[in-house]
């Protein structure tokens, strides 16, 4: 059982996921610090308060902490935007790599050093014919019509 668990835990996908979660946690700390230590003080110039987490509205015996919610939304927007920028940059790099590959393949093909395989299969031709007696569609190899039982031996192949 220990051996199976070790194989499971050491698979590439799980290790990648673990690294991603650890880096994501560290990145979240950086963004939280960015929001709390740099952005919120700038916003406080206009609002008069540096710490939004204490802002709340008292309703009866409970309080609605809209300041902490605002800070969390700001954290999320910054994280989502930075991930968007990373994915956008990675997509640009991948697109450029594909263009370079295609350009290299075209150059090799032009020089005669590369021959592309034909992916298109040739047209096998007609697979059916029409019975001249009852005008039913029949397999091209048929010698008798299954509908009217006429002999199709002397009938030339014609497409439907």
- Other beta carbons within 10 Å of 74: 19
pLDDT in tens, 67-95: 888 878 887 888 888 888 888 998 999 99
Domain ranges of the chain: 2-111, 120-160
Tokens for 93? 């790099």
pLDDT at 36 over 80: no
Confidence of residue 160 (pLDDT cuts 50, 70, 90): very low
Q: Is the pTM of this model over 0.75?
A: no
Percent of the chain whose pLDDT exceeds 90: 10
Helix (H, G, I), strand (E, B) or coil at 144: strand
CATH number of 2-111: 3.30.413.10, 1.10.1200.120, 1.10.3720.10, 1.20.58.340? 1.10.1200.120
159 pLDDT higher than 50: no
Residues 6+ apart with CB under 8 A from 118: none
Distances (CA, A) of 125 to 2, 128, 140, 141, 152: 60, 9, 10, 13, 19
């Amino acid at each position: 059982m220990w051996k199976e668990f070790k194989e499971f835990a050491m698979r590439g996908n799980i290790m990648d996921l673990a690294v991603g979660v650890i880096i994501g946690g560290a990145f979240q700390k950086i963004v939280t610090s960015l929001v709390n230590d740099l952005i919120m003080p700038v916003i406080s110039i206009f609002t008069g308060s540096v710490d939004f987490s204490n802002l709340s509205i008292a309703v009866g015996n409970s309080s609605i902490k809209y300041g902490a919610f605002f800070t969390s939304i700001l954290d999320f927007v910054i994280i989502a935007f930075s991930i968007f920028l990373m994915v956008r940059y990675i997509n640009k790099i991948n697109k450029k790599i594909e263009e370079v590959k295609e350009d290299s393949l075209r150059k090799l093909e032009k020089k005669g050093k590369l021959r592309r395989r034909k992916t298109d299969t040739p047209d096998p031709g007609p697979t059916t014919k029409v019975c001249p007696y009852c005008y039913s569609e029949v397999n091209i190899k048929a010698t008798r019509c299954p509908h009217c039982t006429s002999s199709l031996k002397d009938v030339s192949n014609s497409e439907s």
